[in-house]
Amino acid sequence: MSTYHSNSARASKLVLTAGILFASLAFAQTTAKPGQGASAEQAVDPQTVAIRLALQKRYPNTKFGAIERTPMAGIWEVWMGANVAYITDDARHFIFGHLYDMEKQMDLTASKKAGISNAQASEPSATVKFADLPLQDAIKTVRGNGARKLAVFSDVDCGYCQQLEAELAKLDNVTVYTFLFPLASLHPQAVAKSTAIWCANNPAEAWATAMSTGSVPNSDNRCRTPIEANIALAQRAGIQGTPFIFFENGMRSAGALDVAGLERRLVPVTQQSTGGTQ
């Protein structure tokens, strides 16, 4: 290869790299929120850029905000709307919860969330129970005799919700009430998809299809939906993410469960020793 072509190829790579870094910087500046933002120097860090690109490739339906290094080597803090997760370098494994500095006795996650909104950082309200839910605003799915009951606040574009649906499908003799709870800040198309599902001729069937295949009904159908009411209810209850499960016996669970975990929590209330979030 001639010196000219070698230099030309090298220059092209530099231009491409600069373009990627500039685009990522612009994205970070427009999506980061007060209390979440990374500095311009962090935004153009090559490893930060690589993680953002990996996240966008793996999860194209999710809007990612600020991405920052944590004090733990190989672990990154990623914001998705008002939700935060800690991820590995490969953008594959997510940890949802709080990060603590035990030497300083400091909850690092809570301090970040407090910079956004005290209301957003609060725990789900224990005063909202299954009996308080307006079940007429949910999609009802009955399997077997439907004797056992649970309700799920779920987002059609939420990967963990899709995992939960696969586990729910393994249950028998259960009634599942699905409250459509699209998180528009994370999944911009979720509201339109949820509307199409609710307005379908058979919402339960449309929901099952959407969660298993990603296909939603024709969006031409228009009807009144409970979506806004569901969002308001979730906000009053302090629910920040999906899925969130209410069991008829008073137990609750934030996040996806496998079928064994679901079965344990579906035991009648008389056989449970405790209630609350598990």
Which pLDDT value is given to residue 216? 92
Q: Determine what percent of the chain falls in helix, strand and coil, rounding each to the nearest 5.
A: 40, 20, 40
Least confident of 227-236, 254-263, 264-273: 264-273
Q: What are the helix and strand counts (H, E) for the chain?
A: 10, 12
59: its two tokens: 């999860």
Q: Does the pTM exceed 0.85? A: no
Please tell me the distance from the alpha carbon of residue 164 to that of residue 257, in angstroms, as a whole number.
6
- Cα distance between residue 180 and residue 156, in whole Å: 8
Q: What is the mean pLDDT of residues 21-38?
A: 39
Please tell me the number of Cα atoms within 13 Å of 232 on its side-chain side.
6
The helix (run of H) or strand (run of E) holding residue 33 is: none
Residues 106-129, mean pLDDT to the nearest whole number: 57
> What is the pLDDT of the chain when averaged over all its residues?
78
* Least reliable range by pLDDT among 111-125, 240-254, 264-278: 111-125
**Token digits of residue 110:** 């809570």
> What is the token pair recorded at 53?
């690109």
Q: φ, ψ for residue 40 (rounded to 5)?
A: -60, -35
pLDDT at 126: 56
Q: What is the pLDDT of residue 113?
A: 63
Q: How confident is the model at residue 115 (pLDDT cuts 50, 70, 90)?
A: low
Better pLDDT: 136 or 110: 136
C-alpha 37/C-alpha 103 separation (Å) is 25
- Enter the tokens of residue 150: 């649970």
Q: How confident is the model at residue 37 (pLDDT cuts 50, 70, 90)?
A: very low
- Taking 70 as the threshold, does the pLDDT of residue 79 lie above it? yes
pLDDT of residue 103: 67
- Looking at residue 247, its pLDDT comes to 95
Q: Averaging pLDDT over each range in 28-42, 75-89, 158-172, which range is the top one?
A: 158-172
